[in-house]
Amino acid sequence: MASNVNETAIPKEELAAMLQLSYVYSYCAVAIAALIFFDYAATVPQEAILVWSKPTNKFSFPSILFLLNRYLLLVMGISLILITFWWDTSLEYVV
C-alpha cells in the first residue's frame, strides 16, 4: 500500500514562494488602505465646505456621485484591512 501524502504535497520551494507572495500582498493591501485613509482625512475639510455647506440643491447628481465614490472607497479600505488581518486556519492545514 503506497501512501499518497507525498504525491499531493506542495514542494517546499513552491510553498515558500506562495508565503512570500502572501506577505507582499498583505503589505501592499495595508499601504493602499493607509493611502485611502490619509486621503479621506486630508480632504474632510474641503468636503465640508464644498458639499455639506451648500444650502440649496444639496443632493444633486454630482454631489451624490462624489459621496458614493468617496464612501465606497472608504468601505473598500476598511475591508482591505479586515481581509488582510483575518486569519482563519482550519485544523486540516496544521502540520
Per-residue pLDDT of the chain in tens (95 residues, 90 and over written 9): 455 555 678 888 888 888 888 888 889 999 999 999 999 999 999 988 888 787 766 678 888 898 899 999 999 999 989 888 877 666 566 55
pLDDT at 49 (0 to 100): 85
pLDDT at 54 (0 to 100): 73
Contact 50, 2 (CB under 8 A): no
Strand (E) or helix (H) holding 87: none
Residue 78 belongs to domain spanning: 30-86
Residue at 3 is within a domain: no
User: Amino acid letter at 44?
Assistant: V
Residue at 34 is within a domain: yes
pLDDT at 71 (0 to 100): 93
Residue at 56 is within a domain: yes
Residue at 12 is within a domain: no
Tell how many helices (H) and how many strands (E) occur in the chain. Answer: 3, 0
pLDDT at 60 (0 to 100): 80
Angle subtended at Cα 72 by Cα 70 and Cα 76, rounded to the nearest 5 degrees: 115
